[in-house]
Structure 1
């Protein structure tokens, strides 16, 4: 079993500038381009935690709360919230900043799931996560419910077996 690691050790901050080639006809960052940026930042966090090659297994709901405009600076902060045998949940937050106007807004957040793999592409065990802050502890505690929901929705777990999720929903 790999040595457990602190959640903070996976912290990744990535910054991009929205250029004309990244935008749609309204001069806003294309959603697919943002998802690409987010996937990279989240994957780096998962790699930092696992010290392994990682593959994206799932992305939870991503809502686009605010448009990100041409020339804005996009900052993404990603961190592993919890690890299971070979998978890791990563929380990512996104902000857009108009530096000349002095405006910074939260635009997106999502949970990504990555699986660590060996050189042959087979899943490999990852270290446990040690949460320290209240926020890290909250995300850690709720990660099992989110995982069970993902597995039920994917048809990989029977809803009756999702004990944490059932307890939370009181069903």
Structure 2
């Protein structure tokens, strides 16, 4: 299966701000995990997906009230039971935030179980992301 990006958008509202008047990192983390989860849920039953680890969420600049954050996520690497998502957030096509999340496919008892999904990177960008995902600490 080829890598397929998923997109979500969020309008930054007053309740999303921190004491500096910029987007609160906790709210961003919520949206970040949600975006990664959506990418994983497009490939397997959402009831079988749990978040194992956020491998980093790197900001390049602040986000302010009234701005629209465009989140793009895609599963770039699969293991026997794992799915690794790359997530980036943009404003007007400028990268503001990026990182990786590992999700695990589980059974009804919460035990890791094989998902049978294989991802193929075809673009140079996706091949680079896949290699970066391979080098993440689990």
Are 1:137 and 2:137 an aligned pair? Answer: no
Among 10, 13, 17, which residue is 1:19 paired with? 13
Higher Cα radius of gyration: 1
Structure 2 Cα separation of the partners of residues 136 and 65 of structure 1: 21
Give the 3-state SS of the residue equivalent to 1:7 in structure 2.
Answer: coil
State the number of aligned residues.
136
Aligned-pair RMSD on alpha carbons?
Answer: 1.5
**Of the two structures, which has the highest relative contact order with CA contacts closer than 8 Å and spacing of 6 or more?**
2
Unaligned 5+ segments in structure 1 are 98-103, 152-171
- Structure 1 runs of 4+ aligned residues shifted over 4 Å read none
Instruction: With the length of structure 1 as denominator, give the TM-score of the two structures.
Output: 0.73
Give the deviation of 1:51 after TM superposition: 3.2
Paired position in structure 2 for 1:46: 40
Aligned equivalent of 1:112: 101
1:159 aligns to what? none
The answer to which structure has the higher helix fraction is 1
Alpha carbons of 1:87 and 1:16: their partners in 2 closer, same or farther (altered >3 Å)?
Answer: same
